[in-house]
Structure 1
Amino acid sequence: MAGAYDDRDGVIWMDGKLVPWRDANVHILTHALHYASAVFEGERAYHGKIFKSREHSERLIKSASMIDFKVPYSVDEIEAAKDLILKESGLQDAYVRAVSWRGAGPDMGVASARNPVRMAIAAWEWGAYYGDAKFKGAKLDISKWKRPSPETVPSHAKAAGLYMICTMSKHAAEAKGCSDAMMFDYRGYVAEATGANIFFVRNGEVHTPLADCFLNGITRQTVIEMLKKKGIEVKERHIMPEELEGFEQCWLTGTAAEVTPVGQIGDYTFEVGALTRDIAESYEKLVRS
């Protein structure tokens, strides 16, 4: 599948039925377009099976609850819809996007309690998120934007509005020839990349930022569990910027990113070392098992 995302062959599951890809549209006065009242999930299917599919569906519903609306489908119904779209798309290895949002209705101000909640699921072929950086190590910029305090936004929801500063950060990074940007949090601690969690290695130990003001990714949790099973100590903690100089290896995790090594963050460099390669290979085996 190629071309612009609004001009492709195939079908999209939308509000309980399959709709031709080009007809899966919303009205210009859709509340989510104006006020970011939307949540989503990014998922990957391997050999026709979505990895941790049910966990993603559960998180979608939870994210919606965090931003004050209810997804009009159960986890079982969402799972069935995802199975259907994969079957109808004829895809075995695919990226799956589930999204739910407040649609157009009688309300068009900030409040939108009377507007219908809608949902759609699409699937398409998508290779490595960072291209060849997955093998040689990604180059990251350091963003000027910071992940906000949980007192200002529902920071543990996978909500559309939380990605505005991520888009801006990634655009700025790409303009500098980087793959992505690392972000600090509102206190100045190392947080994450724009769409992936981050890990560091020092003296055989793994360090990763405490997910207390950003999304605790499903891939992040999976990798932590894998590391612990390998007998490797994982320290989830606040990491200061000056500590970057002392880390030897670094990688990113996310459904789209999978496990991607990092070779550089700003002026700091890292080796694509044995532990990084091992966890990337182990993750690849796990998702395809």
Structure 2
Amino acid sequence: MAGYDDRDGTIWMNGTLVPWREANVHLLTHAMHYASSVFEGERAYNGKIFESRKHSERLIFSAGEIDLDLQYTVDEIEAAKVETLAASGLSDAYVRPIAWRGAGEDMGVSSSRNPTHLAIAVWGWGNYYGDAKTKGAKLDISKWKRPSPETIPCFAKAAGLYMICTMSKHAAEAKGCSDALMMDHRGYVAEATGANVFFVKDGKVHTPKPDCFLNGITRQTVLRLLEQRGIEVIERHIEPQEMADFEQCWLTGTAAEVTPVGQIGEFTFEVGALARGISEEYEKLVRI
């Protein structure tokens, strides 16, 4: 497959669909130097973006968290996504809105005089973890930790916050793993590099309390599915050593969807009935 900069199609940029290969920014774009950018990851199923409005609302929230004036309403972002998806000709697709500070009068830490931009790209994307949905993903344990809320806008989906995620995933892939599990700044289990995590023990589900990382939209959907099943969910701080006693595990995220986990570091898990069942229920829900 060609690189992401060399494809046919169009990308929505600041209100206009432009040819894919011409969707470029200047070298001195502020976001390239100072990570002043926020984004969303969304999936369309059967021509409809799942929880689209929630993603648009979060994009605006994230922009506000990093002091970026987006200048688009939720309705305007929604309309732009519909237009871009239709132009792509795809019914099942990944949707990436991204907002950033561009090049302007400022070229330093301050960028208040620089314009803000919004773009939306759509492409086909299969299973994020390949065949892990049937076999169970294998995860490394990252040396990097999710930072304290006192140090970063941890509830924003901001580009700069993913630097340690990229390094963690690279290290994991070098070991033959699909991803890495990250602890938080206190040493509790937090999340994978781009997905939330759930565990099962004695018929109950345990999941880290999202007090210093994203409370993912897919995570919230899965919590509702578990509630509908009448399964008790305990959101709490989880010590790493507790993973030795958990029976099942899965990841949730727009890209990951619901992916069972077979191993995290030295800890192993059964790809069991509940993990498979929630994955199947999610697949049905997003296609309604």
Question: Which bin holds the TM-score, normalised by the shorter protein?
Answer: over 0.9
Match of 1:97 in 2: 96
CA distance in 2, matches of 1:231, 1:134: 24
Match of 2:2 in 1: 3
Residues 130-145 of structure 1 correspond to what in structure 2 (within 5 A)? 130-145=129-144
Question: Cα offset for 1:229?
Answer: 1.0
Match of 1:66 in 2: 65
Q: TM-score, normalised by structure 1?
A: 0.99
Residues 257-272 of structure 1 correspond to what in structure 2 (within 5 A)? 257-272=256-271
Aligned residue type for 1:76: D
Match of 2:117 in 1: 118
Match of 1:190 in 2: 189
Which digits, 9 at most, give the CA deviation of each residue in 1:210-249, with x for residues without a partner?
0000011000000001101110000000000110000000
Match of 2:85 in 1: 86
Question: Cα offset for 1:147?
Answer: 0.1
CA distance in 2, matches of 1:6, 1:242: 43
Match of 1:273 in 2: 272
Where 1:101 maps in the other structure, the secondary structure is strand
Match of 2:34 in 1: 35
Query: Aligned residues, how many?
Result: 288
Match of 2:48 in 1: 49
Match of 1:180 in 2: 179
CA distance in 2, matches of 1:228, 1:112: 45
Aligned residue type for 2:162: Y
Aligned residue type for 1:73: Y
Structure 2 unaligned regions, length at least 5: none
Aligned residue type for 1:45: A
Over the matched positions of the two proteins, sequence identity in percent amounts to 75
CA distance in 2, matches of 1:54, 1:283: 18
Where 2:221 maps in the other structure, the secondary structure is helix
Match of 1:224 in 2: 223
CA distance in 1, matches of 2:265, 2:163: 22
CA distance in 1, matches of 2:87, 2:194: 28
CA distance in 1, matches of 2:83, 2:152: 34
Which digits, 9 at most, give the CA deviation of each residue in 1:31-84, with x for residues without a partner?
000000000000000000000000000000000000011212111011001000
Structure 1 unaligned regions, length at least 5: none
CA distance in 2, matches of 1:36, 1:233: 40
Q: TM-score, normalised by structure 2?
A: 1.00
Cα-Cα RMSD: 0.4
Match of 2:22 in 1: 23
